[in-house]
Amino acid sequence: AIIKTALPNMDREAKEEYFVVIQAKDMGGHMGGLSGTTTVTITLTDVNDNPPKFAQSLYHFSVMEDVALGEPIGRVKANDLDIGENAKSSYDIIEGDGMDIFEITTDAQTQDGIIRVRKPLDFETKKSYTLKVEAANIHIDPRFLSGGPFKDTATVKIVVEDADEPPVFSSPTYLLEVHENAALNSVLGQVTAHDPDVSSSPIRFSIDRHTDLERQFNINAEDGKITLATPLDRETSTWHNITIVATETRNHSQVSRVPVAIKVLDVNDNAPEFASEHEAFLCENGKPGQVIQIVSAVDKDDPKNGHYFLYSLLPEMVNNPNFTIKKNEDNTLSILAKHSGFSRQKQDLYLLPIVISDGGTPPMSSTGTLTIRVCGCSSEGVVQSCNAEAYVLPIGLSMGALIAILACIILLLVIVVLFVTLRRHKNEPLIIKDDEDVRENIIRYDDEGGGEEDTEAFDIATLQNPDGINGFLPRKDIKPDLQFMPRQGLAPVPNGVDVDEFINVRLHEADNDPTAPPYDSIQIYGYEGKGSAAGSLSSLESSTSDSDQNFDYLSEWGPRFKRLGELYSVGESDKET
């Protein structure tokens, strides 16, 4: 079965779907035959046969003058009864006084036209704009061109609203010039700014001190005149960059800034001088007119036409018999010798004062001194020696001979000093005098540690003294108050000393001494020191009171303890009195 349209010019926008019931019969459709039915859904596909249409012919929008660029200010909509690709449209601004101020784009999702700000707005310059916007289909079916045009237009009016704007300077940057010798408080220049708003708030000017830390400039807050606060020096700083701030008095949040560059102009206030401290060398065999040195000068100033230096000798040195000067084309100076036959023996050093002046206004000058040394040179003019010594000294000795004599004197002094030092450090003789041959010792037991292990009680010098071994030394033995247990001596025996013989002699003295105490001092101190790592202290006698003590026995201890006995005797006498 073939289904065909029965009517021409079907309209999808009027009715998109049709439902058709189809019946099929057998027996050719005669009576008694069987039949069946089915429903067929017919959907009309869309063609681009409808143009876009704006919902309204006039649109109104308002926008603040300080709106950000690219910010949307409104939307327009052109409806198209078609669907899909046939309904897509594009928007354009085709007429109006704001074609360069605004732009319109298409929203791909909603097919809206979005109007955006393209350039900054200014309420004070223009308060409203009128635009003519067109919407046109993108895809056009040539079969339906006769039903066109497939586009529509609408008018858009945009009103700009006033906003509080910051001050506006008359120039985006300022360049000022001032001479470095300008007087303090002199006016360098002026900046101007105004409030673009209708209210026209007064403006106050100031300097951003972060850009003028040394406070070299001031500004009048009312009229914006910049003045000099401290002296300027072009040689120190040629440019000064500061920032001027303009603030509305009615709204301090409205602030504008502008950079100001100040150039310091040069004045001739520095005298030229030598570029460095020059020292010239003159050969003894030099020729008249020979160039000794070429010197140059520098000037801290910067004249417009460049530097031009004038060189001259001091008035009293104009007729200098030895040297003359010559100005070179490259602004340098040549020093020339007037004659030959210079001699180091007669004069080895010359000082040549030179006056350097510039051509500025006012002219500045300074005097530099050139040092010229007379030197010995080879035949090729190579400097070999600039020392001022003569070939034959007045005493008839050469320099080599003087150096040799000086070396001998120094060597002799070293020997003398060494001899004196050795004499001072010479060892004392090992023989002990009789008045020092006292071997009694007072041992302090109030020290922590050590105790009876004190080995310094031995008089090692006595053990090593041969005279002490062979003879009987005078002594007066005393009875010690402290009792010690004899210990085995562990100290090494000195080489070259017969200790056994020495002890036997002392033992013989002890055996034949009727007044000797039970414990001889030699026995006590001879074995003290080694043995127990922590020996115990012997018991000390104590009295209940100081008055019970008797120190008369101290006078019997010999001459070494005489002072001790006198002290205690004085103490007893004081108590009795």
Q: Give the pLDDT score at 230.
A: 95
Q: Which of 72, 154, 77, 155 is nearest to 109 (CA)?
A: 77
Cα 325 to Cα 171, 320, 368: the distances in Å are 56, 10, 13
What is the reported pTM?
0.48
Phi first, then psi, for residue 421 (nearest 5°) are -65, -45
Please check whether residue 336 is in contact with residue 293, taking contact to mean a CB–CB distance below 8 angstroms: no
Q: Which of 525, 544, 524, 529 is nearest to 490 (CA)?
A: 529
Domain 273-385 CATH assignment equals 3.10.450.50: no
Q: How many other C-beta atoms are found inside a 10 Å radius of the C-beta of residue 528? A: 24
Please check whether residue 24 is in contact with residue 36, taking contact to mean a CB–CB distance below 8 angstroms: yes
Q: Give the pLDDT score at 92.
A: 93
Q: How many other C-beta atoms are found inside a 10 Å radius of the C-beta of residue 546? A: 9
What is the chain's length? 577
**Omega cis (within 30) before 466:** no
Domain ranges across the chain: 53-161, 168-265, 273-385
Q: Beta strand pairing status for 365-377 and 279-283?
A: parallel
Phi first, then psi, for residue 147 (nearest 5°) are -90, 5
Q: Give the pLDDT score at 48.
A: 75
301 vs 406: CA distance, rounded Å? 55
Q: Where are the beta strands (DSSP E) in 314-430?
A: 323-327, 333-337, 349-358, 365-377, 383-385
Superfamily for 168-265? Cadherins (2.60.40.60)
| Low-confidence spans in the chain with pLDDT less than 50 | 390-395, 428-439, 450-451, 454, 456-458, 466-493, 520, 524-527, 539-540, 542-544, 572-573, 575-577
Fold of 53-161: Immunoglobulin-like (2.60.40)
327 vs 335: CA distance, rounded Å? 9
Q: Where are the beta strands (DSSP E) in 97-166?
A: 102-106, 112-117, 128-137, 151-161
Phi first, then psi, for residue 131 (nearest 5°) are -125, 150
Chain segment 268-326, per-residue pLDDT in tens: 888 898 888 878 888 888 888 889 889 999 988 888 778 888 899 888 887 888 999 99
Rounded to a whole number, what is the distance in angstroms from the first to the last CA of the chain? 166
Residues in contact with 30: Cβ distance below 8 Å, sequence separation at least 6, in sequence order: none
Burial status of residue 531 (CB atoms within 10 A of its CB: 0-12, 13-18, 19 or more): middle
Q: How many other C-beta atoms are found inside a 10 Å radius of the C-beta of residue 116? A: 15
Same fold, 168-265 and 273-385: yes
Q: How many other C-beta atoms are found inside a 10 Å radius of the C-beta of residue 48? A: 24
Over 91-109, what HEC string results? EEEEEECCCCCEEEEECCC
Q: Which of 73, 51, 54 is nearest to 62 (CA)?
A: 73
Q: Which of 144, 138, 142 is nearest to 50 (CA)?
A: 144
Q: Give the pLDDT score at 517.
A: 59
Q: Give the pLDDT score at 516.
A: 60
Please check whether residue 337 is in contact with residue 290, taking contact to mean a CB–CB distance below 8 angstroms: yes
333 vs 313: CA distance, rounded Å? 12
Task: Give the SS3 label for residue 399.
Answer: helix
